[in-house]
C-alpha cells in the first residue's frame, strides 16, 4: 500500500512516524503494532455504553486494519491515560474527507 503523504506533514517536536493499523480498539483508540494510540480530539463511547459499536465501526470504516498512515504525537498531550500515546493519525481517506469539507 502506498503512503500518500510524507513525514514533512509532521508538526511539533515529539514522535512522528509512518505505520499501519493492526487493531481498532474502540472509536477513539487504535493499535499500531504494539503501541496503543488514543486519537487526539476524539471522544467516543466506551465498551458497554450506548453507541460503542457504531463508534468503533465508524473508526474502522475510516481507518481499516492494515491501512497505512502517519502517527503524529500530540505535542500538547504527550502523556496519555491507560498507557496510550495521544496522537493524530493521518490516513489517505481522512485527507480525502478533509479536502471535501
Structural domains of the chain sorted by starting position, each given as residue range(s) with its CATH number in brackets: 15-100 (2.40.50.90)
pTM for the model stands at 0.73
Say how many Å lie between the first and final Cα of the chain, rounded.
25
- Find where cell 471522544 sits: 43
Q: How far apart are CA 64 and CA 78, in angstroms?
A: 25
Q: How far apart are CA 89 and CA 3, in angstroms?
A: 13
- Count of CB atoms situated within 10 Å of the CB of 21: 22
Q: How far apart are CA 62 and CA 3, in angstroms?
A: 15
pLDDT tens per residue, range 34-86: 889 888 888 899 999 999 999 999 999 888 899 888 888 876 665 666 677 77
Amino acid at each position: 500500500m502506498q503512503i500518500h503523504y510524507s513525514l514533512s506533514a509532521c508538526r511539533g517536536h515529539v514522535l512522528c512516524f509512518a505505520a499501519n493499523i493492526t487493531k481498532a480498539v474502540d472509536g477513539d483508540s487504535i493499535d499500531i503494532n504494539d503501541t496503543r494510540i488514543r486519537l487526539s480530539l476524539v471522544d467516543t463511547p466506551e465498551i458497554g455504553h450506548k453507541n460503542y459499536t457504531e463508534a468503533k465501526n465508524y473508526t474502522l470504516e475510516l481507518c481499516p486494519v492494515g491501512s497505512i498512515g502517519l502517527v503524529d504525537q500530540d505535542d500538547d498531550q504527550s502523556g496519555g491515560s491507560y498507557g496510550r500515546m495521544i496522537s493524530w493519525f493521518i490516513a489517505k481517506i481522512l485527507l480525502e474527507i478533509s479536502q471535501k469539507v
